[in-house]
Structure 1
């Protein structure tokens, strides 16, 4: 059999990152007998894809009409970085001994990425794939998805603090008489919210007509527009009800004031900035259902879902809960930094047997740039175990060694000089913790969305590609969850 298992592990509990952050991790291979390979490679990729099928009627050469299915597709690639962790494509075969072997990897995410998204007809998805490159045989691949969340700070624009006021009014005709007006006012305190928060609703209904109101339905709705580019440009819109309240009936010549809240589950932030194939909006929809043959009263208002909440705005908690917001991890594991910005260096392989390089004290943690010695009987390409590895005075492993960098590092990597990672890199600036700008702000939990995918395979995978971890992938988004007292 050879390869028994490959497990990919990333360096935070949520497998969630911000654009510009460094993703660190390791691939643990377990072999039940020695294995010959050309090398082991890793590939990071960020893509958006849309696809849906339409049916068109065409006339054949026999003059008869028949239906034809047409795939409407579109794709965008945001970045793709691959390099060898061990060996290379054109190098000599390497024999990996029986047992478990760890290979650390790292990748700097580009600074302008759209948030992860999983929808009915498309997705924005980020994956890491580790490949066992075998000579004259099919490659063995292991893949996993992770979440990228692009920041949307609601304090950045004053319009996110604007209140929303929806006014609906209608008079009804009965024979030759006109009734008094039915007036419905719905107020929201602000325009910008975050996942986990609640939306306070203040509804005032004055029914001065003789026509009864059967129900007032208020919904939080997600509007998604998918855009295809082949065979021709086109769009497809999907409307999803996230949450709703039915406020009940109001008789004629009756007035009511009703206060309710809509809860916001973990959702991607509005707009999907930097994605050209998927548009995302959230709206509050009000439907006043009247009795008889009369038209209903309807109105809709656009709201914005961000990742950093409005300072000074505290929405009410869900019924029976407090306004305290805490991460869903033990207190001992909480850090003064963002949960995504670990303060501990990534654990290294047990096989590492050399002095550590200094680790940069930065918002994200980084693996120490040393490669492990293999057991006795080292494969070709490793320096002798009597020789310091890497040689003294060199900040990176020698080209002959199985380095984390390819011989010519991709442009998105910081330069191979000095302490790794570099203090600055124009193509991938280190992100600042957005929450430190607002002292006292409770940091979010990163919770799975209800919108997931059963399969992260794509056209570049082969039939032997395995999935590391859960088969079902659900992106995680910053969520300001409430907990009981």
Structure 2
């Protein structure tokens, strides 16, 4: 049996009107499908495009009972959207024949306003894909699949607590024989609790070490907290922390005081999101004072909100570094649309997204691994894109179209 390279028979790609393949929830996705037939004409039942958005979480826990190991598999899923339309042919119509050459089809899809932000995490994801299916009578279908990014707008100007300063204190008591007990007081202060990607978070740390033990070092981290929520076999929460940015400074000697100011530059990262039923994204500032020996660390956590629209109050602009307008990366699976690309009438264009010639990828920003968007042994003869999050999820400092 001779193997045939199906890529030689036809080629397909999807081009979207957003150069970065990134959209806000509620916007309209406009694009075109370019299908090239090589060699001989192809008979098909129809050419379908499917837009899908799904959140899914999976993890396992091993339990031991009476010397028997039991594995519990937790799973949760939420379907955000399913959109299907025929570009050519129909489900119940007669077969059509596509002659050799290039065939171009346009499509338009309105995204629902309640979509969760695209996220790729350990044990879970919120993922949006476009899939072109060539339905063939009495034969296996062929398909081409690519991802795109959706962001749920988070305007910090409408978040009540985003503009408020936060100051947190934690006290650690250290017992020492024969000196008795003494304390280490640590204060952490941030000017506001709402930020966007590209901004710098100034973290002020004051330590009053009244003990006879040195604090060796202080680390300051921006931590992403992914909360996974299972639905089967029963509801269970799993929190997966991930350090996004980390700085380190020297500690505080015994019987002394010291103040530090650390700066955390927020890289491209998804905004805070809790609209999904099975996956939440939250952030916190974590300051940890480390001691030698077996002493426990002195830790302070401050929850913050990452948005897509920065606050405009003057006091915030004076306390932080200027907002950097980060670019959005383009996805390699789709080609840029030409200037004369036809956009359906009455549909708002999203060409206002900022673009840069050499932006960082989402994997570079988040140290993420490539994501396989195929499922199981799914056959795909035309092609597909390897990475589901090639586009960085950046907080945009501008208004969005509803």
2: CA distance, partners of 1:236 / 1:140: 38
Within a 5 Å distance, the mapping from 1:108-257 to structure 2 comes to 108-178=110-180, 181-257=183-259
Identify the match of residue 61 of structure 2 among 50, 54, 75. 54
CA deviation map 1:363-410 (0-9, x unaligned):
547xxxxxxxxxxxxxxxxxxxxxxxxxxxxxxxxxxxxxxxxxxxxx
Give RMSD over aligned pairs.
3.0
Gap regions ≥5 residues in structure 2: 1-5, 329-335, 398-402
Within a 5 Å distance, the mapping from 1:354-393 to structure 2 comes to 359-360=345-346, 362=348, 364=350
- Report the equivalent of 1:5: 11
User: What is the TM-score normalised by the length of structure 2?
Assistant: 0.84
1: CA distance, partners of 2:91 / 2:28: 25
CA deviation map 1:257-284 (0-9, x unaligned):
21120121111111332x1001221111
CA deviation map 1:180-234 (0-9, x unaligned):
5422221111000111211101112232332111111221111111111122322
- Change in Cα spacing, 1:167 to 1:14, as seen in structure 2 (3 Å) is same
2: CA distance, partners of 1:191 / 1:256: 24
Q: Is the 8 A contact 1:127 1:146 kept in 2?
A: yes
2: CA distance, partners of 1:120 / 1:278: 11
1: CA distance, partners of 2:199 / 2:369: 21
- Change in Cα spacing, 1:471 to 1:192, as seen in structure 2 (3 Å) is closer
Identify the match of residue 30 of structure 1 among 36, 42, 57. 36
Gap regions ≥5 residues in structure 1: 60-64, 318-322, 330-341, 349-355, 366-432, 436-442
Q: How many residues align?
A: 374
- Report the equivalent of 2:287: 286
2: CA distance, partners of 1:57 / 1:146: 42
The offset of 1:327, in angstroms, is 5.3
Q: Specify the SS of the correspondent of 1:110.
A: coil
More strand by share: 2
Q: Specify the SS of the correspondent of 1:155.
A: helix
Within a 5 Å distance, the mapping from 1:308-323 to structure 2 comes to 308-311=309-312, 312=314, 313-314=316-317, 316-317=320-321, 323=322
2: CA distance, partners of 1:453 / 1:466: 20
Q: Is the 8 A contact 1:284 1:300 kept in 2?
A: yes
Identify the match of residue 51 of structure 2 among 25, 28, 44. 44
Structure possessing the higher relative contact order (Cα contacts under 8 Å, 6 or more residues apart)? 2
CA deviation map 1:70-103 (0-9, x unaligned):
4321211111111211011121111111011111
Q: Is the 8 A contact 2:284 2:304 kept in 1?
A: yes
- Change in Cα spacing, 1:170 to 1:120, as seen in structure 2 (3 Å) is closer
Q: Is the 8 A contact 2:309 2:396 kept in 1?
A: no
Q: Is the 8 A contact 2:206 2:260 kept in 1?
A: yes
- Report the equivalent of 2:332: none
Q: Are 1:458 and 2:366 counterparts?
A: no
2: CA distance, partners of 1:58 / 1:181: 44
- Change in Cα spacing, 1:465 to 1:241, as seen in structure 2 (3 Å) is farther
- Report the equivalent of 2:263: 261
Structure whose CA Rg is larger: 1
